Amino acid sequence: MTLGVILSLFGLGTALVLLFTLAIYAVPFFVGLTVGMWAFEAGAGVIGAVLVGIVAGLIALFAAQLLFASVRSLALRAVIALLFAAPATVAGYHAVLGISALLVPSEAWRHVFAAIGGFVVGVSAAVQLAAFAGAGAQPRQVIVVRPDAEFAEGVGPDQPRLPSSSVARLPASSSGSRG
């Protein structure tokens, strides 16, 4: 009896970890599934439809990541993140609702837990998209220091020093090279 409860909780925990990890792939999966079904209906056959669906899903994932990384506007980034987070939220809601049916007897509380779980899964998908896409380049900070400031105020060459108050912000280079 006790071993069964422990294994059940372990299985539920594993399912939830998988749900959070795979939340970012909800939109590419739906795109791939839709395009694959269209390709099958158009006569591509089973293997051709699967291949077309996989390619379409990968293109959707990488296009969204590229778009998210290249767009500077926070409003457009929020829209892209919302496009990924909304289906993940719905999937998370229904997954937590199904899992909570095993543990929570009250229907109202199941929906409360499902709403919280769906929200967390949606936020997780948006955060994963931002992390996966690199979140764009941040402005570089260049510290301008006088050459003789290294030895000023009793600081030797081997000791750390605070930068002078001359700080200039330069925009990130648009030539694509980083260094």
Residue-range domain boundaries for the chain: 2-133, 140-170
What's the average model confidence in pLDDT over 55-84?
Answer: 84
CA distances from 28 to 7, 59, 128, 131, 179 (A): 32, 8, 14, 17, 33
Report which of 171, 178, 175 is spatially closest to residue 142, judged by C-alpha positions. 171
For the stretch 90-148, pLDDT in tens is 888 888 888 888 878 889 988 998 899 889 888 888 887 777 666 554 545 555 555 55
Residue 59 has a pLDDT of 93
End-to-end Cα separation, the chain, in angstroms: 60
User: E strands within 25-166?
Assistant: 140-143
Residue 32 has a pLDDT of 92
pTM beyond cutoff 0.85: no
What's the average model confidence in pLDDT over 44-59?
Answer: 93
Q: 39 falls in which pLDDT band (50, 70, 90)?
A: very high
Lowest-confidence region among 6-15, 69-78, 119-128: 6-15
Q: 38 falls in which pLDDT band (50, 70, 90)?
A: very high
- Helix (H, G, I), strand (E, B), or coil: what is residue 67? helix
User: E strands within the chain?
Assistant: 140-143, 167-170
What's the average model confidence in pLDDT over 74-97?
Answer: 84
